[in-house]
Amino acid sequence: MKKVIVAILIGISQFFCHTSLARDNNITLIRDAETENLLYTIAKPMFITAGLNPDNVKIHIVQDTDLNAFVATGQNMFINTGTISKATNVNELIGVIAHETGHIYGGHIARGSEALSKAQTGSLAAVVLGGVAGIATGRGDVAAALMMGGQSSNMGSYMSYRQSEERAADQFAIKALNENKISIDGLTNFMSRIKNNELLISNSNDSYYRTHPLTSERISFLRNASSSQKESSPIDGNLTRQFELVKAKLTGYTEGYNETLAQYPLSDQSEKALYARSIAYYRTGDFKKSLKEISKLINKLDNYPYFYELKGQVAFESGDIVIAKESYKMAYDALPENPLISGDYAKTLAISNNKEELEKASKILAESLEKEPELADNWKKLAQIYSSLNQEPLAYYCSSEYLLLTGDKKNAKTYALKAKKSAGSFDKIRLMRIEDIINFADDDDKNKANKKNKTNKQERLK
């Protein structure tokens, strides 16, 4: 499991709180192959029902125990770890994802922006632009309404608009669940539980109620849909098992050691309990106990690649490169298309400095980056491997990609220029990409210079 700090700017045009990236307000995203696989498996039928290409919708996992989920422009869906952990079964999580897909299907981000703009006066615009940017994972318009004072009637109109969008998302969710013969009970129970605990939630950090206005009418609508559903099929047992394992994994990674063992005591020898404890032991540095629990897991379910992934991670960090390499290979052989597992396997291959293994690692990483070019760590690893193989032009190019992704545009340009000097090492497409990196950095420099000149001019006019 990997963490990525992502900056989010809460702007005036958001529907669910995130519309653009900035470096002022950060959230922590988790990259985890197993959790992502679960979410995409659940979401794919919903996306297809919505007429969306599943490959074009990006699901992000937010490390936050707050119960929330939201969508953003560019077909981005964000699911808090707290939403997964607090779902009592996989059917509830399916319902949440179906609802969020409804917001993408309905184009609610863009329409919400327009509705908010109409609700604003000049003073409201100033409040939203100046103050809402500080709210990281809640809906900024709610905070803006509280800051508004005399503008509450305008915002009341906007809140009414938002409730209509929530109803529309519910309607889509019911349509999608029915078409896929999935019980509506999960969505109904999830929303009803939140509604019943509205006061408790509003007094805590949970923001789902605040960001998804619930009304008695909506709850009645969902209950009626549940009771009148004609046909639904049982949830696949393997999906239920994976859901329970992901919940256990998230507990192990996000809760403290004592909290994890309280929830999954030593007397519990189930797969999910062994999983949670193995991670808890690993996080406290007790690699021996962690590996012992993982071995029990593999004995119970030897064809589950994510157990081998975890074993590789624990072995690698304990210094046992041989076991790490063997374990990551097992995970990679089962999931060769997964760029996260590919990156970790390549990392163990590169440790030996054996030319054959370095070349194998470079091939694996290059293939993984074709699938997911925004994985900065994989670019960094690949640059290091090419340098070890004395392929410096390729190392320069990979370094430029890594630096660009991590925000160091100045040095990204420096390394791209170094790569460009060895144009014969690249095909036409790669050379065009190198030029793009150089031009992108140049444009950024020009924008900064223009902004500085504008600021200086304003100061002279004072």
pLDDT at 398 over 70: yes
Residue 155 is assigned to a structural domain of this protein: yes
Question: What's residue 310's pLDDT?
Answer: 98
Distances in whole angstroms, Cα of residue 330 to Cα of each of 56, 334, 345: 29, 6, 9
According to DSSP, the β-strands at 76-80 and 20-31 are unpaired
Q: Are residues 193 and 289 in the same domain?
A: no
Q: Are residues 180 and 282 in the same domain?
A: no
Domain of 207 in residue numbering reads as 2-237
What's the number of domains the chain is made of? 2
CA atoms within 13 A on the CB side of 409: 13
pTM: 0.81
Q: Are residues 145 and 169 in the same domain?
A: yes
> What secondary structure does DSSP assign to 293-332, as a single string?
HHHHHHHH-TT-HHHHHHHHHHHHHHT-HHHHHHHHHHHH
Residue 458 is assigned to a structural domain of this protein: no
Q: Are residues 87 and 165 in the same domain?
A: yes
CA 67 to CA 102: how far, in whole Å? Answer: 19
Residues 6+ apart with CB under 8 A from 146: none
CA 35 to CA 306: how far, in whole Å? Answer: 10
Q: What is the pLDDT of residues 405-460, one digit of tens each?
A: 999 999 999 999 999 999 888 999 999 999 999 999 887 666 665 555 555 555 55
Helix (H) or strand (E) holding 367: helix 355-371
Domain boundary (208, 237, 266) is at 237
Q: Which residue in the block uniquely carries the two structure tokens 């039928």?
A: 45
According to DSSP, the β-strands at 69-72 and 58-62 are unpaired
Q: What is the pLDDT of residues 93-150, one digit of tens each?
A: 999 999 999 999 988 664 444 443 443 433 333 333 333 333 333 434 434 443 444 4
Q: Are residues 292 and 190 in the same domain?
A: no
Residue 3 gets which letter from DSSP?
E
Q: Are residues 310 and 323 in the same domain?
A: yes
Please give the backbone phi and psi of residue 271, each rounded to the nearest 5 degrees, phi first: -60, -45
Domain boundary (211, 237, 263) is at 237
Q: Are residues 267 and 226 in the same domain?
A: no
Q: What is the pLDDT of residues 175-205, one digit of tens each?
A: 999 999 999 999 999 988 877 655 444 444 4
Helices (H), 132-236: 140-148, 152-179, 185-196, 198-202, 208-211, 216-228
Q: Are residues 208 and 344 in the same domain?
A: no
Residue 461 is assigned to a structural domain of this protein: no
Identify the bridge partners of residue 29 per DSSP, sorted by sequence position: 4, 62
CATH number reported for the structural domain that contains residue 331 in this entry = 1.25.40.10
Give me the mean pLDDT over the 351-361 stretch.
94
Is residue 265 helix, strand or coil?
coil
| 10-26 burial code (b ≥16 CB/10 A, e <16) | bbbebbbbbbeeeeebe
Question: What's residue 195's pLDDT?
Answer: 72
Residue 455 is assigned to a structural domain of this protein: no
Residue 456 is assigned to a structural domain of this protein: no
Q: Are residues 173 and 258 in the same domain?
A: no
Q: Which residue in the block uniquely carries the two structure tokens 């859901």?
A: 243
Q: Are residues 274 and 220 in the same domain?
A: no
Q: What is the pLDDT of residues 6-58, one digit of tens each?
A: 544 332 222 233 333 323 346 789 999 999 999 999 999 999 999 999 999 99
Residue 353 is assigned to a structural domain of this protein: yes
Residue 298 is assigned to a structural domain of this protein: yes
